[in-house]
Amino acid sequence: MRIVDAQIHLWGTGLPSNLSHRQVTAFTPAEAVALMDQGGVDAAVIHPPGWDPGSTDMALKAVRDYPGRFAIMGSVPLDRPESSAAIRSWREQPGMLGLRYTFLHDPARRWLADGTIDWLWAEAENAGVPIAALATDSLTELGRIAERHPGLRLTIDHLGGRGGMTTLKDAAAMTHIPDLLALAKFPNVAVKATGAPGYSSEAYPFPAMHTYLRQIYDAFGASRMFWGTDITKMPCSWGQCVAMFTEELPWLGDRDKRLIMGEALCAWWGWDRAA
């Protein structure tokens, strides 16, 4: 079984603005590869963080330096007219799979709601560029976007939650789940099951999260549910993040595990690792 992490951050300068991340000034591709090897992780998708202006260049170099180990979900500025044209050739960059945005705060959250960035969804749909979104308070709006743009592949980050931007744990961190599950009716919406241990107040295997993982699996199926870590926020090792899914969820069969642990993500985002 090939294991592909749906989301990690790599950076070479600056402290993470999200305090739930390790407060270190660098987490490099070499460090990541060493830890991935220890944890049995074959590959990972880099989401360049905004606190390091050089993080996209670092990600592109990682793709070159470690063939087959890394791909990228990048971003174009949402407030610049030239961004629209950039999306049309976005996937021509080696290793670049799609776009990823956070819509938890204004102005991005407001732009999502008021139509300011409607061009983004249209351009991405036309160019075949998938988009991932962290948007806990805007899940209903993302559903409307998915309905208007059926050819756009949308992925909801971090089980639909806030991904460490809150101290809430367990059930208190999962009150959005009904809104997330309602999106399963749109066949062009998938969910990253990333960062589950970080939402738990318990130790491995983080049993409070299993109920929500099962609900997501029942609603979206294994082809639209992607394992991952956001490892620099996790209270455990990469190996334990893997084992939580491969060893601790008895309702997952072998075929579903292969899909959730990497095959479905590569298909959804169009990552041909062999190429």
pLDDT at 166: 85
In a domain, 185, yes or no: yes
Question: From its phi and psi, is residue 206 left (phi > 0), alpha (psi between -120 and 50) or beta?
Answer: left
pLDDT at 163: 87
Range of the domain at 239: 4-269
**How long, in residues, is the chain?**
275
The total number of structural domains that make up the chain? 1
| Amino acid at position 46, single letter | I
| Amino acid at position 80, single letter | R
Averaged pLDDT for residues 126-139: 97
The Cα 112–Cα 251 span in angstroms is 36
Structure tokens of 232? 């620099």
In a domain, 241, yes or no: yes
In a domain, 40, yes or no: yes
CATH number at residue 179: 3.20.20.140
C-alpha dihedral (84, 89, 93, 94), degrees to nearest 10: 130
Sequence-distant (6+) residues with CB within 8 A of 92 are none
In a domain, 259, yes or no: yes
Q: What is the pLDDT of residues 186-233, one digit of tens each?
A: 999 999 999 999 999 999 999 999 999 999 999 999 999 999 999 999
CA nearest 222: which of 256, 188, 191? 256
**pTM score, two decimals?**
0.97
DSSP class of residue 5 equals E
In a domain, 275, yes or no: no
Highest mean pLDDT among 19-28, 122-131, 164-173: 122-131
In a domain, 127, yes or no: yes
Burial class (CB in 10 A: 0-12, 13-18, 19+), 150: exposed
Q: What is the pLDDT of residues 36-45, one digit of tens each?
A: 999 999 999 9
pLDDT band at 275 (very low <50, low <70, confident <90, very high): confident
pLDDT at 83: 93
In a domain, 82, yes or no: yes
The percent of residues in the chain predicted with pLDDT above 70, rounded, is: 100
Sheet arrangement for strand 70-74: 4-8, 43-46, 70-74, 96-102, 131-134, 154-156, 189-194, 225-228
Task: List the end-to-end C-alpha distance of the chain, in Å, as a whole number.
Answer: 18
Averaged pLDDT for residues 100-119: 96
Exposed e or buried b for every residue in 33-43, given b needs 16+ CB within 10 A? Answer: bebbeebebbb
Region of poorest pLDDT, from 13-27, 120-134, 199-213: 13-27
Exposed e or buried b for every residue in 159-196, given b needs 16+ CB within 10 A? Answer: bbbbbbbeeeebeebbebbebbbebbebebbbbbbbbb
In a domain, 224, yes or no: yes
Going by DSSP bridges, is the β-strand pair 131-134/43-46 parallel, antiparallel, or unpaired? unpaired
